[in-house]
Amino acid sequence: MNAEKSMKKILIISGLLSMVLTGYAQKMTLEESIQTALANRWEIKNAQLEIQVAQGENDQLKAKWLPQVKGAADARWNTQLQTSVFKNAPFANGQDVRLVLGVPFNTTVGINAEQKIVDATAKYDRQLNAVNVDSRKIAQEKTKTDLRQAVTEAYYAALFNAEKVQLAQRALERAQAYQLAGRTKFEKGTLLLNDLDRLRLDVNNAQTALRKAKSDQLLSLENLTYQMGLAAGSPVQLADSLPSLYEKTMVMVSQESLERRPEILQEKNALKINELNEKKQSSRWLPLVSAYGSYTALQLNDVFNPFTAGTWFPYSFLGVKLEIPIFDGRQASLQKRNYAIQASINRNNLKQLEADFAYEIRSIATTLAQEKDNVNDTRANLELARQILETDRFRYEKGVLLLSDLKNSEYSLQNAETNYLTSVYNFLLASLRYQKATGGL
């Protein structure tokens, strides 16, 4: 009695401990798992930072149109002054006169400013940067799509392995029950030792299968934890089930739209960039107009002394500068040709991608239809296996069916359950691929 009471206490404490530990585990649906991954994974955060960097280029482009103001100071010591020759100087009776111009020390302090007025390439720079920002956003969405797929596949695998653990556990319980009943018959002399050994072998095989199923479940949960960006060993509970996700997936309607595929959008943006660069090269032949000005103070002195009175002479000027390209070594025309070729490549890539994705959709749609039929077939087989087992159990209890035949019926049910879960799992994976192929993921 005391031993039984102690065992009951141990079971109660174990149950309470299990409940407490389970309470700390995060119970997540598939959608919650996806959102957790999108919030935690570093590549998503980096993608957002890259968008900010691209958007910051707009500020730099605007800053280029602000006045460029520079301060300048220059102190010069003329160690040897320049000599000029005045030919046939009238004040020297027509003789050549050599003049030494300047003073030993020249010092200048000034402020120079320049402002762009017309630059035909500027609008293309703004448009190119806008396309670059869009490209970063598309790249981010593609990263999110890939992450959604990875998390969803990991979630499906975790559910599938959890179901396999339950099937293996039930198989072990059945094998242990048969072994217990067989031991009783063996002790009564109604069962051969070889038959008892066969029952023990069934238990050993069931235990091995259960250990393998639990190991697979642990690995799949670790993979899901990693995909969600959680710390290693974080406890996670799955709130969904394969059948419930199957029912949700069946009511989803995915509209085929290749335009939503990020690969298509990326190629279109690459085409825009090459087309804009082609136009930008043409605009380089247009005039560049800018205004400039300067205010400078010049000191001329025989000695270096900036504070000598009467030696500073200020001057200032304003101007408008027009620059017209005449010949640049054919650089613009050659680059324009290259961009035109790249644009043609982009157009060909778009056609190829559209053909590839259209084929992919047709192929996956066929696979999806086949997997749906498999689910219906395995579900029907599962119901039939259950009916057969129920009938065979009644016959076994009446003594008109051998134990081996009853075990065969139970194995058939176990296979039917495994086949059904496998077909549901495969259907969900095919549905996931179809959603991605049609741009709906």
Whole-angstrom distance, CA of residue 332 vs CA of residue 325: 11
**Alpha-carbon span 195 to 187, nearest angstrom:** 13
> Domain 67-118+288-323 class?
mainly beta
Predicted pLDDT of residue 7: 43
- What is d(CA 112, CA 355) in angstroms, rounded to the nearest whole number? 59
Nearest to 290, CA basis, from 64, 109, 72: 64
Is the Cα torsion angle 127, 133, 136, 138 positive or negative in sign? Answer: negative
- Please give, one letter per residue, the 3-state secondary structure of the chain: CHHHHHHHHHHHHHHHHHHHHHHHCEEECHHHHHHHHHHHCHHHHHHHHHHHHHHHHHHHHHHCCCCEEEEEEEEEECCCCCEEEEEEEHHHCCEEEEEECCCCEEEEEEEEEEEEEECCCHHHHHHHHHHHHHHHHHHHHHHHHHHHHHHHHHHHHHHHHHHHHHHHHHHHHHHHHHHHHHHHHHHHCCCCHHHHHHHHHHHHHHHHHHHHHHHHHHHHHHHHHHHCCCCCCCCEEECCCHHHHHHHHHHCCCCCCHHHCHHHHHHHHHHHHHHHHHHHHHHCCCCEEEEEEEEEEEEEECCCCCCCCCCEEEEEEEEEEEECCCCCCCHHHHHHHHHHHHHHHHHHHHHHHHHHHHHHHHHHHHHHHHHHHHHHHHHHHHHHHHHHHHHHHHHHHCCCCCHHHHHHHHHHHHHHHHHHHHHHHHHHHHHHHHHHHCCCC
Give 30-66+123-239's CATH code, choosing from 3.40.1160.10, 3.40.50.1820, 3.40.50.300, 1.20.1600.10: 1.20.1600.10
Task: Name the residue with tokens 């077939």.
Answer: 377
Residue 24's pLDDT is: 52
Amino acid at the residue 432: L
User: What distance in Å separates the CA atoms of residue 307 and residue 262, rounded to the nearest whole number?
Assistant: 69
Do 416 and 234 contact (CB within 8 A), yes or no? no
The pLDDT value recorded for residue 100 is 83
Radius of gyration (Cα) for the chain, nearest Å?
Answer: 42
- Distance CA(437)–CA(266), nearest Å, equals 15
- pTM score: 0.79
pLDDT tens string, the chain, 441 residues long: the values are 444 444 444 444 444 444 434 445 668 899 999 999 999 999 999 999 999 998 888 888 888 888 999 999 999 999 888 888 888 888 778 788 888 888 999 999 999 999 989 988 889 999 999 999 999 999 999 999 999 999 999 999 999 999 999 999 999 999 999 899 889 888 888 888 998 898 899 999 999 999 999 999 999 999 999 999 998 888 889 999 998 999 888 766 555 667 788 999 999 999 999 999 999 999 988 899 999 999 999 999 889 988 888 899 999 999 999 988 888 888 889 999 999 999 999 999 999 999 999 999 999 999 999 999 999 999 999 999 999 999 998 998 888 888 888 888 988 999 999 999 999 999 999 999 998 888 887
Of the candidates 358, 368, 366, 346, the one whose C-alpha atom is nearest the C-alpha of residue 439 is 358
